[in-house]
Every structure is written in C-alpha cells, then in structure tokens.
C-alpha cells in the first residue's frame, strides 16, 4: 500500500477545495488547505493564460509550504465575447462582485447573442510543484453553451448558466459525482492524480 503523501491544494475557494478533495478520496494523499498550514499570502495572478497562473501559484505556495502543491487556474471562455471572461473569470466585473452578480453581468453581455452563437467552454489547468523543483501541468476542457438564465444549485461560479447539450442541463443541475466525472476540473484532477501515482507520488 502506498505511503500517504501530504498534498497542499492551494486555493482560497472553498467550493474548489471541496471538489478537489472529493475527487482525491481513496488515494494516498493527505489533502491540506492553505488554512490548514496557516498560509495567508495571496499570489497575484499576472499570467496571460490559465497555465501561467497555475504555475505561478503552485511554485509560490510550494516554496512557502515546503510541500508537494497542487494549484489550478480555471475559467470560462465564451466565443461571442472573444474569450472573456477567461483568466479573469473569478474577478470578472471587479473584485467586489459575487458569483450571481458575475453571472448576471455575463448574461447582460450576451443578451443579443442567439443560442447557436453562445458556445463556451470551461478550461482548467493544474500545476503540480515539488519542493525539489519539479513542475508538471495537466489540463481539462468541457464544451457547452451559455443559457439564458441560471438553473441549478449544485455548483459555484458560472455553473448555473453552463448548459451541457448532451445532458440537457447545466453543470449546477448535475449530481456531485456526475459533475466531478465530466467537469474540466474533474478531468484535470484525475490526470494529476494519475501522474502523481506514475511518478511514485513523492518524485523529486
């Protein structure tokens, strides 16, 4: 049986921490949060891409914690908005807005856009950083359509307006296990977990 390895999931978003922790259940990781380690610093997300931001966070928090660190950057890319909100998804419209307010803003921007042109995707890049200096990245993408009004409560961020054509519902209407199986973050976490296992978890 593999030895349990400490793994810092470097996010201040409780919804994201909960999702990642659930997806790693049963694997040989002791999942730790920033709060668990008393880390209060915030890493400025200055990257132009999801990968750049994930790497910035993973490296900084790994250096602070001295432990294997998983950090992600993810967001919503809407074709009709030239890729916005993109890397600004969590801060779209300004730092003070709530998730429902960001959803409302996005819907207002798409009010004149017909259904067939409301294509979008959730994109997630996970970076893994080891104290010894190793760095790896994996990603996940799920395609969908921005629907006209929010539906569902089992999610956060833009989940209530992200319609999955093959399911006929939003990601916020899926059961947690179903959402984790198909989501962009679910895809990326599974790839990260497989990579860690292949590397013997504690690879340096």
Q: Known catalytic residues?
A: 73
Q: Exposed/middle/buried for 26, CB within 10 Å: 0-12, 13-18, 19+? A: exposed
Which candidate, 169, 175, 168, 176, places its Cα nearest to that of 151? Answer: 169
Distance CA 196, CA 128 (A): 9
Crossing angle of helices 14-23/184-198, nearest 10°? Answer: 50
Which candidate, 117, 120, 62, places its Cα nearest to that of 89? Answer: 120
Residue in the structure block whose two tokens are 């790896």: 136
């Amino acid at each position: 049986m593999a030895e349990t390895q400490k793994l810092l999931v470097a996010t201040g978003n409780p919804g994201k921490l909960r999702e990642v922790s659930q997806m790693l259940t049963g694997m040989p990781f002791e999942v730790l949060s920033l709060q668990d380690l008393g880390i209060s610093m915030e890493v400025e997300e200055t990257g132009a891409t999801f990968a750049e931001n994930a790497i910035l966070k993973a490296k900084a928090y790994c250096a602070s914690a001295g432990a294997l660190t998983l950090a992600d950057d993810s967001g919503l890319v809407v074709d009709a908005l030239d890729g916005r909100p993109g890397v600004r998804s969590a801060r779209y419209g300004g730092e003070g807005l709530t998730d429902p307010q960001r959803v409302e803003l996005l819907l207002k921007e798409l009010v004149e856009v017909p259904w067939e042109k409301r294509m979008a995707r959730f994109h997630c890049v996970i970076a893994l950083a080891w104290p010894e200096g190793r760095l790896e990245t994996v990603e996940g993408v799920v395609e969908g359509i921005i629907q006209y009004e929010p539906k569902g409560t089992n999610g956060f961020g833009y989940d209530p307006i992200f319609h999955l054509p093959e399911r006929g519902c939003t990601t916020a209407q899926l059961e947690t296990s179903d959402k984790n199986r198909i989501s962009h973050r679910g895809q990326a976490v599974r790839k990260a977990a497989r990579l860690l296992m292949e590397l013997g978890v504690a690879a340096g």
